[in-house]
Copies of this chain bind each other. A is one copy, B any other.
Amino acid sequence: MSEREFHDWLSRRLTSTAPDVIAGAGSDDCAIMDTSAITRLAVSTDTIVEGTHFNAEDDPLMIGTKAVMAALSDLAASGCQPKWGLVALTMRKGLGDRWAMRLMEGIAGGAKRYGMSIVGGDTTSAYGPTNVNVTVMGSPYREEAVRRDQAKSGDLILVTGELGGSILGKHMRFDPRFREMETLLSVVPVNSAMDITDGLALDLTRLLAASNLGATIEETEIPVSDAARELSLKSGKSPMLHALSDGEDFELLATVPHGTLSEIMKVWKESGIKTKLSCIGRIENAQGLRMASREGTVRQLPPTGYDHSF
A4 at the interface (CB under 8 A from B): yes
Which B residues touch A95, using CB under 8 A? 310
Contact A40 B22, beta carbon cutoff 8 Å: yes
Q: Name which of A45-53, A260-268, A274-282 contacts chain B.
A: A45-53
Could you say which of B28, B40, B51 contacts A126, with CB atoms under 8 Å apart? B51
In the complex with contacts A124-B49, A310-B100, A33-B29 CB distance below 8 A:
no
Q: Is there contact, CB below 8 Å, between B126 and A131?
A: yes
Residue A30 interfacial (CB < 8 Å): yes
CA–CA, A100 and B309, complex, Å: 12
Q: Known: A28-B147, A52-B126. Contact between A133 and B3, CB under 8 A? A: no
Structural contact, B310 and A96, CB atoms closer than 8 A: yes
Contact of A127 with B51 in the complex, beta carbons under 8 Å: yes
Check: A223 CB closer than 8 A to any chain B CB.
Answer: no
Contacts A31-B42, A43-B33; is A145 near B23 (CB within 8 Å)? yes
Q: Is A188 an interface residue (CB 8 A)?
A: no
Interchain Cβ contacts under 8 Å between A and B, 5 examples: A2-B307, A28-B145, A29-B78, A33-B40, A34-B40
In chain A between 117 and 157, which residues have their CB closer than 8 angstroms to a CB of chain B?
A: 119-129, 131, 133, 135, 137-138, 144-145, 147-149
A90-123 CB contacts (< 8 Å) to partner B? 90-91, 93-97, 100, 119-123
Band of interface residues on A = 35 or more
Q: A residues near B, CB below 8 A?
A: 1-4, 6, 22-23, 27-36, 38-47, 49-53, 73-75, 77-78, 80, 84, 86-88, 90-91, 93-97, 100, 119-129, 131, 133, 135, 137-138, 144-145, 147-149, 194-195, 210, 307-310
Bound-state Cα–Cα, A91 to B97, Å: 25
Give bound CA distance, A148 to B34, whole Å.
18
Which residues of the other chain, B, contact A49 by a CB distance below 8 angstroms? Answer: 90, 124-126
A4-B307, A47-B88, A307-B4 given as contacts; is B149 within 8 A of A27 (CB)?
Answer: yes
In the assembly, what is the distance between CA of A227 and CA of B310, in Å? 38
Q: Which residues of B contact A53 (CB under 8 A)?
A: 124
By beta carbon, the residue of chain B nearest A78 is B30
Given the known interface contacts A52-B126, A126-B50, the answer about A88 and B29 at a Cβ–Cβ threshold of 8 Å is no
Partner pick for A129 among B46, B127, B145, CB 8 A cutoff = B127
CB pair B308–A125 under 8 Å, yes or no, is yes
- A47 to chain B minimum Cβ distance, whole angstroms, is 5
- A39 pairs with B43, CB closer than 8 A: no
